[in-house]
Structure 1
């Protein structure tokens, strides 16, 4: 037990060079506490066995932070799971960025040329679980491991420098929640329970990865940095010119990005479709015009790019819980009568 805790302490001290904080002991267990200047939270680490480490990041940061997992020189397989919040993954020195969403699994194969960079976004409460397999150390134990783990590690040679984003998995999330009661385990029995749950998480991750491979499920589509930059420019364009004819085909032609990549990009950056984003921008602009100008409702509708007053009134009421006419009367301070038809 002492050796495992010493190994965990060593990992956290190495991690502390990347993520500013202080390594302390809580109930005899080493924990990395994040410095208040960059946010709040902690990182826990448990050495399950030789070559097998489990990390839990429970963080809320004040600024975006990039963590390059390069303190282990050997080739690795990392099994990721976001219990709360989202983060982003890319290989250091490469352009492709992939979003890791809440309750979603991911398997990452790292080598000398493909070192994982995790990107944590500011003001996002993130609970992120990582089980890291050090191949150089762990392959010595393969004879004692299950066929599924052997298959995963054997597949490494075919998938170097690859990220496989799997399905959403609630079962793994429930297992991770069980770790809370044993996080600061001090007895052999409690630590054995903690290790047992971690191994169950490992087994479920591997099981899903194998199932995805057998069914031919491909890794999630990713976006290049230049495509993300273009999505950012398009976002600004839509915000500044909500009245423009923002059809998907027109925006695709303007940006040189395919319609499917546009939808992926807006879902990736704004967690909504392109059409929903345009509609929300127009509704926000309409609310500002109703509140701050003397324009009538029809003038507002057509000035922001809508072609149907009835459709505008419907979605406005869904968002603001009253019709545009009622909203304007409330803003003007006039008495509001019950409307027969809220359009």
Structure 2
């Protein structure tokens, strides 16, 4: 395991120390610092930008070749961090101990550690990580006119007003499709520099922050939003993928999956969109097609038998969707592999 220690919570100092540790290339452009690296540590990029009133943003797009522990050993008052992971996962400990909490993909997370505590992130190896941090320096933010912190719920009000960092806080909330979609749009903002880019980034980041605050409020008040999904729901959907595979020859519908899982059709659609970026029907169809490819390549079953085995009633419909997905007809796909195998002999 590799261990890196950072001695500042300020974005510019933190990135300079990271650059010294991982030997990447650090560039600054129009208020943004971008650290890129491709070496023995791993590959990827880290980007940070500071806004007014103590708000900053860090975007991580990395793949590390070794499990890495990142320890923040600083005397600074910790920022409040709003974290959202769109790819992968990592673990968090308020102090440098062996007790970690896993931060999950698509889960709304808020953390703030005590002053003088060694906040620790544990990043897995060989995992593509895409993580967004919106960080708020509470002392600076409270100087903002009309900050409206008083309108937050009591937990967050006390956190913002904890000017000495006496209390730690951690929120692992709902899994949110809406936040994930807004972050996807954030990543598509034009790379060209200038005022338009800065304003677009700042506007999108404040929108994401407001959604994360709203999720926190609804989570604490036990309100279920249509775009939110719980960890238990995610586990049920994971189990459904095994059920679908075991019953691939059947006519699998949203209704049957809803009955099997106990989740509403709407919740199922949200969950499949979050986990697989597909609707339920798109996921089932794609799985049937992938299995049909395996049958065509590795068995002597006729196309009609394969169609029956994957639960599609019409051979013509199967050929149509197979061609749409892979730009080749099933019979031609099989010929391609037979000819390839003959050439190898």
**Range into which the TM-score falls when normalised by the shorter chain:** 0.5 to 0.7
Q: Residue in 2 aligned with 1:277?
A: 283
Question: What CA distance in whole angstroms lies between the structure 2 residues aligned with 1:74 and 1:6?
Answer: 7
8 Å contact from structure 2 (residues 319, 329) kept in 1? yes
Q: Residue in 2 aligned with 1:138?
A: 140
Decide which moves more: 153-162 or 249-258. Answer: 153-162
**Cα displacement (A) at 1:31:** 7.2
Q: 2:241 aligns with which of 235, 256, 259?
A: 235
8 Å contact from structure 1 (residues 98, 223) kept in 2? no
Query: What is the aligned length?
Result: 291
Question: What CA distance in whole angstroms lies between the structure 1 residues aligned with 2:132 and 2:190?
Answer: 8
Q: Residue in 2 aligned with 1:76?
A: 80
Question: What CA distance in whole angstroms lies between the structure 2 residues aligned with 1:332 and 1:24?
Answer: 48
Q: Residue in 1 aligned with 2:166?
A: none
Q: 1:247 aligns with which of 253, 270, 278?
A: 253
Q: Could you list the per-position Cα deviations for residues 94-149 of structure 1 after superposition, in whole angstroms to 9, with x for gaps in the alignment? A: 8995528xxxxx8x754569x998989956474x65442121x214522xx4x4xx
Decide which moves more: 67-76 or 46-55. Answer: 67-76
Unmatched 5+ stretches in structure 2: 1-7, 94-99, 157-170, 219-223, 341-345
Alignment of 1:1-343 (within 5 A): 7-8=10-11, 10-12=13-15, 21-22=21-22, 26=26, 36-37=39-40, 39-45=42-48, 51-62=54-65, 74=78, 76=80, 78=82, 86=87, 97=104, 99=106, 110=111, 124=128, 126=130, 130-135=133-138, 137-142=139-144, 145=145, 147=146, 150-151=147-148, 153-157=149-153, 160=156, 161=171, 165-166=178-179, 168=182, 177-178=191-192, 201-206=201-206, 220-224=227-231, 226-333=232-339
Secondary structure of residue in 2 paired with 1:132: strand
Q: Could you list the per-position Cα deviations for residues 76-105 of structure 1 after superposition, in whole angstroms to 9, with x for gaps in the alignment? A: 26487x9xx7566999888995528xxxxx
Decide which moves more: 33-42 or 316-325. Answer: 33-42
Question: What CA distance in whole angstroms lies between the structure 2 residues aligned with 1:50 and 1:288?
Answer: 57
- Residues 218 and 283 of structure 1: is their aligned pair in 2 closer, same or farther, counting only changes over 3 Å? closer
User: TM-score, normalized by length of structure 2?
Assistant: 0.59
Q: Residue in 2 aligned with 1:186?
A: none
Unmatched 5+ stretches in structure 1: 101-105, 182-192, 335-343
Q: Residue in 2 aligned with 1:340?
A: none
Secondary structure of residue in 2 paired with 1:168: helix
Question: What CA distance in whole angstroms lies between the structure 1 residues aligned with 2:270 and 2:48?
Answer: 34
- Residues 269 and 40 of structure 1: is their aligned pair in 2 closer, same or farther, counting only changes over 3 Å? same
- Residues 168 and 70 of structure 1: is their aligned pair in 2 closer, same or farther, counting only changes over 3 Å? farther
Q: Residue in 2 aligned with 1:339?
A: none
User: TM-score, normalized by length of structure 1?
Assistant: 0.59
8 Å contact from structure 1 (residues 11, 45) kept in 2? no
- Residues 206 and 89 of structure 1: is their aligned pair in 2 closer, same or farther, counting only changes over 3 Å? farther
Question: What CA distance in whole angstroms lies between the structure 2 residues aligned with 1:199 and 1:38?
Answer: 34
- Residues 175 and 250 of structure 1: is their aligned pair in 2 closer, same or farther, counting only changes over 3 Å? closer
- Residues 207 and 59 of structure 1: is their aligned pair in 2 closer, same or farther, counting only changes over 3 Å? closer
- Residues 330 and 12 of structure 1: is their aligned pair in 2 closer, same or farther, counting only changes over 3 Å? closer
Give the aligned CA root-mean-square deviation in angstroms.
Answer: 5.2
Decide which moves more: 303-312 or 242-251. Answer: 242-251
